[in-house]
Structure 1
Amino acid sequence: MVEGGVGWVVVVADCVEWVVVGGRQWVVVSVTKIGRDNRSHGFTLRSCPRTRGARKDDGYSLRVASWNVGTLNSKLLEVIDALKRRRIQIACLQETRWRGHRGDERNGYKLLYSGTDGVKNGVGFLVDIELHKNMIEVIRHNDRIMVLRLVLGKELVAVVCAYAPQVGLGDQEKREFWDCLDAVVGAIPREERIVIGGDFNGHIGKDSDGFPSVHGGFGFGDRNEPGKDLLEFVVAHDLGILNSFFRKRESHLITFSSGAHNTQVDYILMRRGDRRWWMDCKVIPGEQVVAQHRLLVADIVLKHKLTNTKMYIRPRIR
């Protein structure tokens, strides 16, 4: 590079850290200017945009989704087709409205669900069949909370699907939900990765007022009491709300749309300590399978790549 008629040699040092600026991840590096006299002329910090997706040496890229499907009756295959088009590997489903506790395989996905005898609520997972061999445990707590644990490379990952009670329900049911979710998340070891996808029926608001460490400042609408409950839960467990850390247009923030009523009630949560591995999180509004709720997708990176070695962990189904 030539500056003012003087030849410069630019030396780029190792990466210092990843930061999130304007909803995108950037790498901060040190740059040294060395003149023709071979003397150093100071250091400058420069930001370089990270390429979309994970580099081969970064690890394994995982795409996780959360979707309130309204019901799986008569639309399971359509939901699976939508996940295939969007390259979703693990989908957290809410309001499945299926009775019982079982698993099934359909069109390249493993379906695992948990419901009650009544035709309401219900949660479940749709897991890419390629990841099915990495599953080690499925825990069905009730018709609102379900946990899936996998070994991905050298990482142990717990995926939690949650469906919070609606605003009109009683305080007792809401307390039971939050107490159960608090116990579930608290029992997951700190060294284990955790991803929570769910419909929390609360609005965290567009600003991070009072919760700057867990709310990235890119929310939607006004905060309400259930949204405050979610933020307090996230603070208690040192999590972050991925939706709020990426600047998006409104159509990629709204997760529920009914007529002129647009809100954000679906969220994906991860530990704040894993923030450097958050690649992207947005709503995909183009899917017409579900009338009101929209597909929420997050791209994350795990440190280690998947291996083809055979696992010697005995799977357990609870």
Structure 2
Amino acid sequence: MAKTKSTRVKAPANLPAGEALHINCGSHDVGTSNPTGRVATDGGISRGAQFLKCKKPINIATMNTRTLKNPHKQLELCALAKKYRIEVLAIQYSELQFEDLPEGFQLITASAYRNKIGASIGGVGILLSSSAKIAMLSVRFITSRILQVTLGGNPKTTIITTYSPTNVSGEEDVEEHYKQLNAATKSVPTHNVLIIAGDFNARIGLDDAKFAYHQNTNRNGDFLLEFAQENNLIITNTTFQKKKSKLWTSLVTANIRLSLRANNKSPSKRVKYDWAKLATDPELQDRYTLEIKNRYSVLSDDNCADQTQKYNYLIQANKEAAEKVMPKLPKKQRKALCFDSRVEQARQHLTEVNKRHVKENTKDTHLEFEQSKDELDQAYERANREFIENKLKEYEEANLNHRHKLAWGIINCVSGRKKVRSGRLKDDNKEERLKKWHDHFKNLLGNPPQVTMENEDIPTIFHELPIRTDAFDMEEYQKAKMAIKEGKSYGEDGIPPEVIKRCNIDIIILDFCNAIKYY
């Protein structure tokens, strides 16, 4: 069992056949793995400790984060997950939507709602690392207190994060919460690894567990015990003795051997080349022209009359030439503010002060602890101010050099503005979406013109126009070529405008133009 500042529950290696392993995250945080008692989908296949034979161990944790409205807290959450190598972190009391965070982390949340007096109620989320994110198959929003995520693997892993009402809440609210949680648990296929992690706001007493933190079981504890018994779950933190310093923790981590697999639906990353360099480097233009011509001549056949096939040869030749000749754009990895040296120093100081405060628990240590938290916030503000100042300098330089795309990218980065997904219609079936698109274009294009006299003669304005109808010549092609704007995105063929404008493949392109004209 790794020694960290959190409680880690190592999976036992001698589970009896048919017994499940369950991870409990404390009196306030509970997790479970591969429970029995769910809806059987495979005729009741026996599940023992077979999933423990997976080679890769991962850390799964749960934590009540209070609130994550402050961007600094979001970054601290990423720093915490990276420090302890946490792949999946279930969080409670979240008020955010989908967020892409530094270091490849992604936060998926079911936001809290406001009650009559304006207080936030519920709110859960799951923070996924980059490796766990690519294995994500589905997200199921159940309530503002229950969120379910399924990860691909052998077997698949389903993670449910939950935030139970407090012990002073109405009994009807608690009953409804456990009813929905019980339904979500039973809906998970039997062969899936199931992990439930959350803040149950419950106390388990010594009468119900051998190693319990509290003396007596409260009302929420009774609900939790009933839920665990019905689904054949074990409150794991009450089955072994913990150190005194670990009896009460805010972060609970379990080390489990799981086999996560990347989702096949994940789009492959496209290689980015420095096409701007092709527009300014004559030597690179000559090398690229020679390479694409040679490769195209090898692929194409003079006897091939299919223009589509010949154009596919050009696309392949361009792809291979780019791989061989073009320099790749360096990856821009912005160092997150949470890993700034000043922030890390302030965080380390806060950790040391917190240790001393937990040990001594005096007014002086409490005051020092609060001051250390303020110093951490100030370190974030200084790092963020310096980042914005550097970005403003980059913006001024880009604006002076007329690099407007780069300038707008800097503005979006500083302002936090993201791309809006447009063109997607939210409907249950294909027929409703088609009807909406039909109505949209009908309103866009308008109604047919009202013709009063069908046989009315329309006078001819131009009798003869100076429009050539013969084949395109090189002079026309050169005029069109000079009008091409560089720096624009290329289409599905992957041929950027810089290649057509700067490389001498005029005869190949002109042949395509004339072939299509008379095709």
Name the structure 2 match of 1:175: 175
Give the whole-Å Cα distance in 1 for the aligned partners of 2:11 and 2:186. 30
Larger-Rg structure: 2
Alignment of 1:47-66 (within 5 A): 58-66=54-62
Distance 1:96 1:130, change over 3 A: same
Cα deviation, residue 58, structure 1: 4.8
Matched letter for residue 170 of structure 2: G
Question: Is the contact made by 2:91 and 2:127 (CA closer than 8 Å) also made in structure 1?
Answer: yes
Cα deviation, residue 25, structure 1: 4.2
Question: Is the contact made by 2:110 and 2:147 (CA closer than 8 Å) also made in structure 1?
Answer: yes
* C-alpha RMSD over aligned residues: 2.7
Task: State the SS of the aligned residue for 1:162.
Answer: strand
Cα deviation, residue 26, structure 1: 6.2
Name the structure 2 match of 1:199: 199
Name the structure 1 match of 2:499: none
Encode CA deviations 1:271-314: one digit per residue, 9 max, x unaligned. Answer: xxxxxxxxxxxxxxxxxxxxxxx101111123xx4457x62599
Give the whole-Å Cα distance in 2 for the aligned partners of 1:149 and 1:168. 32
Alignment of 1:110-259 (within 5 A): 110-118=106-114, 119-152=120-153, 154-206=154-206, 209=208, 217-222=210-215, 223-255=217-249
Question: Is the contact made by 1:24 and 1:246 (CA closer than 8 Å) also made in structure 2?
Answer: no
Runs of at least 5 residues in structure 1 that lack an aligned partner in the other structure: 1-22, 29-55, 210-214, 256-293
TM, length-normalised to structure 2: 0.39
Match of 1:104 among 90, 93, 100: 100
Matched letter for residue 295 of structure 1: L
Task: State the SS of the aligned residue for 2:248.
Answer: coil
Distance 1:200 1:247, change over 3 A: same
Task: State the SS of the aligned residue for 2:237.
Answer: helix
Question: Is the contact made by 1:243 and 1:253 (CA closer than 8 Å) also made in structure 2?
Answer: no
Task: Give 4+ residue runs of structure 1 displaced > 6 Å after superposition.
Answer: none
Task: State the SS of the aligned residue for 2:222.
Answer: helix
Which one has the bigger strand percentage?
Answer: 1
Matched letter for residue 298 of structure 1: A
Give the whole-Å Cα distance in 2 for the aligned partners of 1:170 and 1:186. 25
Matched letter for residue 114 of structure 1: A
Give the whole-Å Cα distance in 2 for the aligned partners of 1:242 and 1:60. 22
Encode CA deviations 1:48-99: one digit per residue, 9 max, x unaligned. Answer: xxxxxxxx9652212111100110121111121111111111000001133x
Name the structure 2 match of 1:296: 252
Counting aligned pairs with the same residue, the percent is: 27
Give the whole-Å Cα distance in 1 for the aligned partners of 2:192 and 2:157. 6
TM, length-normalised to structure 1: 0.61
Matched letter for residue 123 of structure 1: V
Question: Is the contact made by 2:53 and 2:257 (CA closer than 8 Å) also made in structure 1?
Answer: no
2:69 aligned with 1:73: yes
Distance 1:200 1:307, change over 3 A: closer
Matched letter for residue 256 of structure 2: I
Count of residue pairs the alignment pairs up: 215
Question: Is the contact made by 1:97 and 1:120 (CA closer than 8 Å) also made in structure 2?
Answer: no
Encode CA deviations 1:19-65: one digit per residue, 9 max, x unaligned. Answer: xxxx984669xxxxxxxxxxxxxxxxxxxxxxxxxxx9652212111
Give the whole-Å Cα distance in 2 for the aligned partners of 1:307 and 1:138. 16
Distance 1:307 1:139, change over 3 A: closer
Task: Answer with 173-182 or 109-118: which moved more.
Answer: 109-118
Higher relative contact order structure (alpha carbons within 8 Å, sequence separation ≥ 6): 1
Encode CA deviations 1:221-266: one digit per residue, 9 max, x unaligned. Answer: 12222112101101101112222233211221213xxxxxxxxxxx
